[in-house]
Amino acid sequence: MRVSIVFDTPWARWTPDDHRRQMEQELKGEETHEPEMEYQVADALLRSGHDVQLVGVHDDPRVLLDHCEAWKPEIVVNCAESFLGDGALDYVCATLLEVGGYHYTGSSPLALQVTRDKAMSKKILAYHGIKVPAFVVYRTRDPVTEPTGIAFPVIVKPLAADASLGIAHASVVDNLESLAERVAFIHGRFRQPAIAEQFIQGRELYASVLGNDERLELLPLTELVFDKDKNEPEERIATQSVKWKEDYRKRRGIRTVFARPVSVVARRRIEDACRTAGRALWLRDYARIDLRLTDDDEVWVLEANANPFISQGHEMANAAEKAGLPYPQFIDRILQEAVARRERA
């Protein structure tokens, strides 16, 4: 198939050929960082026999439409995580693809916006009977009063951020004074509302799903495991350091592993929560649901992630490989799910 891969880039005037050269350098290990996700995806699709074009978008939306108009892709893989360097604008490229009439992988602009807003998505999930932590939102000019009906401790996060942005051990607070301090930090640092959620103790599980509607497939669960001697219960959260700093993880005894066995009851509840969340939030093709599993097998949905990170060696790609989908097959599977969705429409 002729496939365009659309992604955000800091390089405003790079052409598809520029990105192809950069991809080759990164895949050869000529850079200090791991290859960018879009380059890994492109390489996987090339290995599967597809014809691939790389379209990087920085600040000019016409770049996306002009290149796609010239290339005429049969399908577009949407790897965009931001626009103008702002993650809250990750829906822009999906919107442009909608306007241009292109069929593309992943979730719609609406699903991207709704899942980014932690309060809105929790309200929708709760309406559909899914357990979510009780919460309160503090807008930038709101006074910080004690949350009604929510017992301390609570965890304070930016309302519309991802990748654990703004989450640290200081995010878990157990009194009103600390809550006010952390909310003020979120307001000042991120210029957006803060959400304070009931802190749920339990196992941190990540459920990756592939497919759509009744064809939804739950991949093997992964789990964030903490050394209990080095991490207190309120410290067992996915902070930015936990997510991105390998030396910190080693020092604190934190690992991401395939999940230890769960009970039959818990497994059923996890599957039900993922299927319901997928339909309620209009997730498409692939997604990741972040969960807490308590000692009494209650399943709480913390967040739903539309278009999650799919680089090789990370949670979703690892879960796919465990399910028998090596990385090129995993990426091609996402492509084929989008194709099948179009044919059923």
pLDDT, one tens digit per residue, over 202-223 is 999 999 999 998 889 999 999 9
- DSSP assignment of 167-210 equals --GGGEE-SHHHHHHHHHHHHHHHSS-EEEEEPPPSEEEEEEEE
What pLDDT sits at residue 214? 80
Among 61, 96, 89, 323, smallest CA distance to 217 is for 323
- DSSP assignment of 74-89 equals SEEEE----BTTBGGG
Q: How confident is the model at residue 29 (pLDDT cuts 50, 70, 90)?
A: confident
Q: Fold for domain 132-198?
A: Dna Ligase; domain 1 (3.30.1490)
Determine contact, residues 225/255, Cβ cutoff 8 Å: yes
Tell me if domain 132-198 and domain 202-221+259-325+334-344 are identical in fold.
no
The Cα–Cα gap between 140 and 186 comes to: 9
Three-state DSSP state, 235: helix
The first and second tokens of residue 51, run together, are 């014809």
Among 288, 164, 150, smallest CA distance to 218 is for 288
Per-residue pLDDT of 296-333, as tens digits, reads 999 999 999 999 999 999 999 999 999 999 999 999 99
**Class level of CATH domain 202-221+259-325+334-344:** alpha beta
Three-state DSSP state, 73: coil
Per-residue pLDDT of 62-118, as tens digits, reads 999 999 999 999 999 999 999 998 999 999 999 999 999 999 999 999 999 999 999
Where does residue 37 fall: left (phi above 0), alpha (psi -120 to 50 degrees), or beta otherwise?
alpha
224 bridge partner residues: 204, 256
Residue 161 has pLDDT above 80, yes or no: yes
The Cα–Cα gap between 273 and 196 comes to: 22
Percentage of the chain with pLDDT > 70? 100
Among 42, 249, 275, 266, smallest CA distance to 164 is for 249
The Cα–Cα gap between 257 and 249 comes to: 13
**Long-range contacts from 271-276, C-beta under 8 angstroms, 24+ separation:** 271/218, 273/130, 273/131, 273/207, 273/299, 273/301, 274/207, 274/209, 274/216, 274/218, 275/216, 276/125, 276/128, 276/129, 276/130
Determine contact, residues 254/242, Cβ cutoff 8 Å: yes
Q: Delimit the domains of the chain by residue range.
A: 2-104, 132-198, 202-221+259-325+334-344
- Strand pairing class (135-138; 172-173): unpaired
Distance from CA of residue 238 to its chain's centroid?
13
- Averaged over 210-238, what is the pLDDT? 94
The first and second tokens of residue 111, run together, are 């699903």
Per-residue pLDDT of 239-272, as tens digits, reads 999 988 999 999 999 999 999 999 999 999 999 9
Longest dimension (CA), the chain: 58
Q: How confident is the model at residue 125 (pLDDT cuts 50, 70, 90)?
A: very high
- Averaged over 112-138, what is the pLDDT? 97
* Arithmetic mean of pLDDT over the chain: 96
The Cα–Cα gap between 262 and 6 comes to: 38
Residues 6+ apart with CB under 8 A from 205: 221, 222, 223, 224, 259, 262, 270, 290, 291, 292, 293
